[in-house]
Amino acid sequence: MAVVSIIGPKGGIGKTTLSINTAAALTRLLPPRDKKSDNRVCLFDLDLRLPTISSLLDSHPNKSFYDLFETLANKTWQIDFLRNFYQIISRFQWFLEGRIDAGDENLARCLAHFRNFNAELFLFTEFPQGDLLHELILDRNRVLAPKDLTLLRPILDRLDMDAFRQTLKRHENNSWPIVEEFIKYIEEYHFSILGGEIPILGKKAHRKRINEPELLLLFLDVLGKVLKRYDYVILDTPAGGVHHLSSLINVIDQVIFVFDLSNNIAVNGSIDALHSFIDYYEDFYQDFQDHKLTGLDKAHAQRLVAERGEEAVLNSLKNKKLGIVFNRCQNTREIPPSLKKLREYLDTLDKLETYKDRIQIVGMVPHHKVINITNNRGALFYNKDQGLTGHVDQIAQSILGADARPTLNSPDKDILRFLKIQNWLGFSKKLGRIASI
Interacting residues toward Mg ion by CB under 5 A: 15-16
- We find the least distance from the C-beta atom of residue 14 to ligand ADP, in angstroms, to be 3
Residue nearest to Mg ion (CB): 16
Residue 395 CA: distances (Å) to CA of 253, 380, 391:
15, 15, 7
Out of 4, 15, 69, 392, name the contact with ligand ADP by CB under 6 A. Answer: 15
Consecutive H or E run containing 340 = helix 335-348
Residue number, 18 or 342, with CB nearest to ligand ADP? 18
| Contacts of 297 by beta carbon, 8 Å cutoff, 6+ apart | 246, 247, 250, 284, 287
How many residues touch ligand ADP (CB under 6 A)?
16
- Kindly state the DSSP code that residue 410 receives in the 8-state scheme: S
Helix (H, G, I), strand (E, B) or coil at 139: coil
Q: Is 334 exposed, middle or buried (0-12, 13-18, 19+ CB in 10 A)?
A: middle
- We find the least distance from the C-beta atom of residue 419 to ligand ADP, in angstroms, to be 14
- We find the least distance from the C-beta atom of residue 274 to ligand ADP, in angstroms, to be 15
- We find the least distance from the C-beta atom of residue 431 to Mg ion, in angstroms, to be 34
First to last CA, the chain: 36
**Residue 128 interacts with which of ligand ADP, Mg ion, none, CB < 5 to 8 Å by class:** none
Closest CA to 313 of 360, 247, 357: 247
Residue number, 138 or 373, with CB nearest to ligand ADP? 373
Render 250-311 in DSSP notation, one character per residue.
Answer: HT-SEEEEEEE-SSHHHHHHHHHHHHHHHHHHHHHHHHHHTT---HHHHHHHHHHHHHH-HH
Here's the x/- map for ligand ADP, 321-350, by CB under 6 A: it reads as ------xx----------------------
Residue number, 242 or 399, with CB nearest to Mg ion? 242
Residue 391 binds ligand ADP, judged by CB under 6 A: no
- We find the least distance from the C-beta atom of residue 365 to ligand ADP, in angstroms, to be 5
Residue 374 CA: distances (Å) to CA of 26, 57, 61, 190, 387:
19, 10, 22, 18, 15
- We find the least distance from the C-beta atom of residue 199 to Mg ion, in angstroms, to be 13
- We find the least distance from the C-beta atom of residue 163 to ligand ADP, in angstroms, to be 51
**Residue 17 interacts with which of ligand ADP, Mg ion, none, CB < 5 to 8 Å by class:** ligand ADP
Residue 371 binds ligand ADP, judged by CB under 6 A: yes
Residue 387 binds ligand ADP, judged by CB under 6 A: no
Cα torsion 369, 375, 378, 382 to 10°: value is 80
Out of 78, 254, 375, 398, name the contact with ligand ADP by CB under 6 A. Answer: 375
Residue 405 binds ligand ADP, judged by CB under 6 A: no
What is the footprint of ligand ADP within residues 252-311 (CB under 6 A)? none
Residue number, 3 or 325, with CB nearest to ligand ADP? 325
Residue 378 binds ligand ADP, judged by CB under 6 A: no
**Residue 365 interacts with which of ligand ADP, Mg ion, none, CB < 5 to 8 Å by class:** ligand ADP
- Cβ contact 77:121 at 8 Å: yes
| Contacts of 108 by beta carbon, 8 Å cutoff, 6+ apart | 146
Contact window for ligand ADP (CB under 6 A) among 104-112, 348-356, 371-379, 421-429: 371-379
Helix (H, G, I), strand (E, B) or coil at 421: helix
**b vs e for 338-362, b when ≥16 Cβ sit within 10 Å of the residue's Cβ?**
bbeebbebbeeeebbeebeeebbbb
What is the footprint of ligand ADP within residues 205-234 (CB under 6 A)? none
Residue number, 356 or 367, with CB nearest to ligand ADP? 367
**Residue 203 interacts with which of Mg ion, ligand ADP, none, CB < 5 to 8 Å by class:** none
**Residue 371 interacts with which of ligand ADP, Mg ion, none, CB < 5 to 8 Å by class:** ligand ADP
Residue 68 binds ligand ADP, judged by CB under 6 A: no
User: Nearest 5 degrees, angle CA 224-CA 69-CA 3?
Assistant: 25
- Cβ contact 242:55 at 8 Å: no
Half-sphere exposure of 237 (CA within 13 A, CB side): 28
Residue number, 81 or 326, with CB nearest to ligand ADP? 326
Out of 3, 13, 186, 419, name the contact with ligand ADP by CB under 6 A. Answer: 13
Closest CA to 39 of 248, 316, 226: 226
Contact window for ligand ADP (CB under 6 A) among 15-23, 67-75, 104-112, 305-313: 15-23
Closest CA to 301 of 223, 291, 219: 291
**Residue 27 interacts with which of ligand ADP, Mg ion, none, CB < 5 to 8 Å by class:** none
The amino acid sitting at 417 is: R
- The pair phi, psi for residue 226, each rounded to 5°, is -70, -45
Binding residues vs ligand ADP (CB under 6 A): 8, 11-17, 327-328, 365, 367-368, 371-372, 375
